[in-house]
Amino acid sequence: MSDCLVIGGGVIGMMSARTLALAGAKVTLLDQSQCAQESSWAGGGIISPLYPWKYDDLTNELSIASQQVYEQLCAQIHEDTGLDPQYLKSGLLMMDEFDTPEAGAWLERHNLGYDKHPKGALFANIAQVRNPRLLKALKADIVNKGVNIVEHAKAEELLVKGGRAIGVKTNQKNYTADHIVVCSGAWSSQWLSLSEKIFPIKGQMIVLKSKPSEVEHIVLDQGRYIIPRKDGRILVGSTMQKVGFDRSTDEQTCQALHQFAAQRFERLANATVEHHWSGFRPASASAKVMLGRHDEFDNVYLNTGHFRNGLNMAPESAKRITQLITHEA
Ligand SMILES: Cc1cc2nc3c(=O)[nH]c(=O)nc-3n(C[C@H](O)[C@H](O)[C@H](O)COP(=O)(O)OP(=O)(O)OC[C@H]3O[C@@H](n4cnc5c(N)ncnc54)[C@H](O)[C@@H]3O)c2cc1C
């Protein structure tokens, strides 16, 4: 029996497992396939909501608190594992919507500003992580910290005794624990009944092979973005498709994303598309993160529904769920 069972090995599950282990809990993390292969792998790694004023207060609160610790957290994980998550303060150049009254009011409320740039507004403090590397490092880190990872163990239902959850039944065997933390991303409603349904919103993304410094900042325009990695690779995303768990990618989207990048940086027109993939954002009708206790079982905790912002909200979401379990808050 573990103190805590974490269901799902994306960024939310692994960061939750890390903070719980650091708080002294005996943690088992289950994943239905392998950790670090789903939305958290597929994402762009921008450590900020795209247009923050379009999100609710909790999303911004979790995001701003996470932004304050991300650099140090990545440095710590790098030091502890030897794997570099490549935290990079590349800044974000917003080409549209920064001058709306809504944006102005939000920036004033948060006492934030931007630098004027010939092409828009430069938010110089916005950073990115190389999310597949962050996940690889996180996985190594939590194993070092004593978390027991069990892959190919799919949670099928809660085990309930006398009105209390005592564990989960999986396709392998039953696991029992004092506390169960649901971090199953877009699949959360597939195995557990929730007050609000979580469903997948597919995002397609491409990566272009380019030279370092071809693009200096993350660029955001018309809801789409261009993310320059340190080694010259450039990610371009993304789509928002409500098509269930259909992983397919299509040529038309690949061309549209490539064209979006080439229209802003002419030289990218001839860049090779190295890879094209999709991922499932965990969405809900309210688009609000679910962070707290389950309605019915007070030892089942939800840390899911992070939609477009799971990478940037992960550290603070993990901290808060840990505080709730350890009664610190
Ligand atoms: C194209 C794209 C771009 C994005 N860009 C960004 C960005 O730039 N910045 C940002 O902050 N966010 C971004 N996001 C959103 C972000 O990726 C997600 O919000 C985040 O990854 C959600 O993390 P998660 O751990 O909840 O989900 P996931 O990473 O999907 O992990 C869920 C895990 O749970 C496991 N699981 C599911 N069901 C079960 C079960 N029954 N039993 C056991 N295991 C189970 C799955 O196998 C999976 O490993 C992007 C997403 C996409 C798709």
CATH number of 295's domain: 3.50.50.60
Convert the pLDDT of each residue in 59-94 to its tens digit: 999 999 999 999 999 999 999 999 999 999 999 999
Q: What is the pLDDT of residue 211?
A: 85
SS3 state of residue 81: helix
The per-residue pLDDT of the chain, averaged, comes to: 97
Nearest to 271 by CA among 319, 324, 207, 315: 207
**CA–CA distance from 320 to each of 72, 155, 279, 291, 314 (Å)?**
18, 23, 26, 8, 10
Q: What is the pLDDT of residue 327?
A: 86
Percent share of the chain, pLDDT over 90: 97
Looking at the domain assignment, is residue 216 inside a domain? Answer: no
Please say whether the beta carbons of 304 and 182 come within 8 A. yes
Looking at the domain assignment, is residue 242 inside a domain? Answer: no
pTM of the model: 0.98
Q: Is 155 in the pocket of ligand 1 (CB under 6 A)?
A: yes
Mean pLDDT in residue range 159-182: 96
Distance from Cα 10 to the centre of ligand 1, integer Å: 6
Q: What is the pLDDT of residue 230?
A: 93
Tokens at 134, concatenated: 């962050």
Looking at the domain assignment, is residue 266 inside a domain? Answer: no
Query: What's at 236, amino acid-wise?
Result: V
Please say whether the beta carbons of 240 and 257 come within 8 A. no
Please say whether the beta carbons of 211 and 30 come within 8 A. no
SS3 state of residue 230: coil
Q: What is the pLDDT of residue 110?
A: 96
Q: Residue 329: pLDDT above 60? A: no
Looking at the domain assignment, is residue 97 inside a domain? Answer: no
Convert the pLDDT of each residue in 125-148 to its tens digit: 999 999 999 999 999 999 999 999
Residue 26 sits in which domain range? 1-91+127-197+286-329
Convert the pLDDT of each residue in 13-45 to its tens digit: 999 999 999 999 999 999 999 999 999 999 999
Residue nearest to atom 33 of ligand 1 (CA): 8
Q: What is the pLDDT of residue 212?
A: 82
Convert the pLDDT of each residue in 256-297 to its tens digit: 999 999 999 999 999 999 999 999 999 999 999 999 999 999
When pLDDT is cut at 50, 70 and 90, the band that residue 95 belongs to is very high
Looking at the domain assignment, is residue 209 inside a domain? Answer: no
Question: How do the residues of the chain divide into helix, strand and coil, expressed in percent and rounded to 5?
Answer: 35, 30, 35
Q: Is 191 in the pocket of ligand 1 (CB under 6 A)?
A: yes
Looking at the domain assignment, is residue 78 inside a domain? Answer: yes
Range 113-117, long-range pairs (CB < 8 A, 24+ positions): 117/93
Looking at the domain assignment, is residue 54 inside a domain? Answer: yes
Mean pLDDT in residue range 152-179: 97
Q: Structural domain tally of the chain?
A: 1
Please choose from 47, 50, 184 the residue to mutate so as to test ligand 1's pocket, defined by most ligand atoms within 8 A of CB: 184
- Classify burial at 50, counting beta carbons within 10 Å of its beta carbon; exposed 0-12, middle 13-18, buried 19 or more: buried
Distance from Cα 304 to the centre of ligand 1, integer Å: 9
Q: What is the pLDDT of residue 99?
A: 96
Looking at the domain assignment, is residue 70 inside a domain? Answer: yes
